A and B are shown apart, each in its own frame.
Chain A
Amino acid sequence: MKRLDLNRRRLLGRALALGAVTALPACNYEDPAHPDLADRFLHAMSSWNDRMQAALFSRHTLAPTFSAAQITRPPRFNAFYDISQAPVVDPATYQLELSGQIQETAPWSLAQLRALQQESQITRLICVEGWRVIGQWSGVPLGDFLKRIGADTTCKYVSFQCADGYYSSIDMASALHPQTILALDFLGAPLTPAFGAPLRLRIPTKLGFKNPKSVMSMSVGNVYTGGYWEDQGYNWFSGS
């Protein structure tokens, strides 16, 4: 909680915002573990927005695709840490771990994943901050993969855990969207650590932070698992 600072500048600023509203105590998700009234209001509205977005979502509405000439070069790195801290995962020993409501939970090596039907896309990645980049990704359509491993696609959530401690989860309808892929390649070459090597989720129907990088394990279930940013207040569905 910020201390009460009654200097003139601050009061003027608040008056300018026409804002007794800005003076609401901790209206900013400061402490997710101890939500106050404003936090609870925002949380309720965010849940409402999750439901509205799920209702608006259509598996048949495709994200726009672009030409190779429109690809953003150089690509833009973005994470909650510096590029030098991007996790390095050994591709030779990597295995995608599976758990939850899945019949065949044997882990998958990169070679096994590459042997599956690959899908390429040139799509737009929109960051929650507002900027956007266009890139080319290819990999395994998640819907195909979920069917292949015998996942229960009536479950609500598909969750991802990453090498850098990041985690996120998406709704099943979005997971089954034809443009949702487990990407292995970026700009025609295997993913590099900064861009999510060796495997990342690429989901052009959601905001950038819903595209977890360096995915180590995936689970399917009905228990809400949130996400790194989602648990701090970003809207969970965050569809585009």
Chain B
Amino acid sequence: MVKESRRPIHPWPLRVMHWLNAVAIVMMIGSGWQIYNASPLFGFTFPLLITIGGWLGAGIAWHLAFLWLLVANGLAYLLWGWLSGHFRRKLWPISITAVPSELWAALRFKLPHQRGRYNAVQRLLYAGVIVAGIVVVVSGLAIWKPVQLWFFTDLLGGYVVARYVHFFAMAAIVGFLVIHVLLVALVPKTLPPMIFGGRAEGAEQ
């Protein structure tokens, strides 16, 4: 137990990958909105102020530049999360039945925050955003390389459908980000451990 409590809430590889991902995801979303605007799928475009690049050519250039950071960092995260037991320890099991009651408690600010331990809603959200991240990359590759990586394009129902899949996966990630950033704003003590590591409960006595 003592050994367990010495463990930081967020070990350093996780913190490095978290912030690299933060940079990559913001760049990908901002430049992706710029690209979307060139041929909108729906009856709206993103305001130029919240896009990155200023015009299509630069938007694509940023998108295809940060693609590599997103993918390399994402693969490192998946590998580390699996090998280190992080996923098993932190995200497993995901109790779907506990989600409604815990969500209701959270919305009334009745769900206590436990340092270093995720509740059912958090587990579902974190697992969900990992899935959305995988879908956004696969659908992005399906759009970028529908000839050479045709199997991804076929898997998603063709080029046209893949564009919609890519859009909705982005929307899911943006939805997660809104909740994620909002929760950090509501419970600010969760922020320093993601920078400095923090210490799990029990180690502080």
> In the complex, what residues of A have CB within 8 A of residue B163's CB?
130
**Proximity bits, A4-22, B CB within 8 Å = 1, else 0:** 0000011001101111011
**Proximity bits, B60-101, A CB within 8 Å = 1, else 0:** 111011001000000000000000000000000000000000
- Contact (Cβ within 8 A) A240 B60: no
Q: Which of A88-142 contact B (CB under 8 A)?
A: 124, 126-132
- Contact (Cβ within 8 A) A45 B35: no
Contact of B20 with A by CB under 8 A: no
CA distance A42 to B27 in the complex (A): 13
Most chain A C-beta atoms within 10 Å of own C-beta, residue among B23, B49, B55, B159: B49
> In the complex, what residues of A have CB within 8 A of residue B146's CB?
64, 124, 126, 240
Q: Which residue of A lies closest to B51 (CB)?
A: A17
> In the complex, what residues of A have CB within 8 A of residue B159's CB?
124, 126, 132
Contact of A162 with B by CB under 8 A: no
Given A18-B26, A27-B52, decide whether A232 and B145 contact each other with a Cβ distance below 8 A.
Answer: no
> In the complex, what residues of B have CB within 8 A of residue A130's CB?
35-36, 38-39, 143, 163
Closest CB in chain B relative to A208 CB, distance in Å: 12
- Contact (Cβ within 8 A) A61 B147: yes
Contact of A193 with B by CB under 8 A: no
**Proximity bits, A182-213, B CB within 8 Å = 1, else 0:** 00000000000000000000001100000000
Q: What interface size band does chain B fall in?
A: 35 or more
Most chain B C-beta atoms within 10 Å of own C-beta, residue among A18, A56, A232: A18
Contact of B13 with A by CB under 8 A: no
Contact of A229 with B by CB under 8 A: yes
Given A13-B49, A58-B148, A61-B147, decide whether A232 and B57 contact each other with a Cβ distance below 8 A.
Answer: yes
> In the complex, what residues of A have CB within 8 A of residue B53's CB?
27-28
CA distance A234 to B35 in the complex (A): 12
Contact of B191 with A by CB under 8 A: no
Contact of B50 with A by CB under 8 A: yes
- Contact (Cβ within 8 A) A128 B56: yes
CA distance A62 to B148 in the complex (A): 8
CA distance A13 to B65 in the complex (A): 23
CA distance A29 to B52 in the complex (A): 12
Contact of A57 with B by CB under 8 A: yes
**Proximity bits, B130-162, A CB within 8 Å = 1, else 0:** 000000000000010111111000000001100
Closest CB in chain A relative to B73 CB, distance in Å: 15
Most chain A C-beta atoms within 10 Å of own C-beta, residue among B51, B60, B68, B147: B147
> In the complex, what residues of B have CB within 8 A of residue A57's CB?
148
Contact of A153 with B by CB under 8 A: no
CA distance A13 to B51 in the complex (A): 9
Given A21-B30, A22-B52, decide whether A28 and B58 contact each other with a Cβ distance below 8 A.
Answer: yes
CB-contact partner of B39 in A48, A129, A205, A239, under 8 A? A129
Given A42-B62, A46-B64, A132-B159, decide whether A64 and B49 contact each other with a Cβ distance below 8 A.
Answer: no
- Contact (Cβ within 8 A) A49 B64: yes
- Contact (Cβ within 8 A) B39 A240: no
**Proximity bits, B163-180, A CB within 8 Å = 1, else 0:** 100000000000000000
Given A10-B49, A61-B150, A130-B39, decide whether A27 and B60 contact each other with a Cβ distance below 8 A.
Answer: no
Q: Which residue of A lies closest to B144 (CB)?
A: A240
> In the complex, what residues of A have CB within 8 A of residue B60's CB?
128, 234-235
CB-contact partner of A42 in B23, B50, B58, B143, under 8 A? B58
- Contact (Cβ within 8 A) A233 B61: yes
List 10 A-B pairs, Cβ < 8 Å: A13-B49, A21-B26, A29-B58, A49-B64, A57-B148, A61-B150, A64-B146, A64-B150, A205-B147, A235-B64
Since A21-B23, A49-B64 are in contact, a sample of 15 more A-B pairs with Cβ atoms closer than 8 Å, ordered by chain A residue number, is: A14-B49, A17-B51, A21-B52, A27-B52, A29-B57, A30-B54, A45-B64, A58-B148, A63-B147, A129-B39, A130-B143, A131-B39, A204-B147, A232-B57, A233-B58
Q: Sort A-B residue pairs by CB-CB distance and give the 4 closest, nearest first.
A: A13-B49, A28-B54, A45-B65, A130-B39
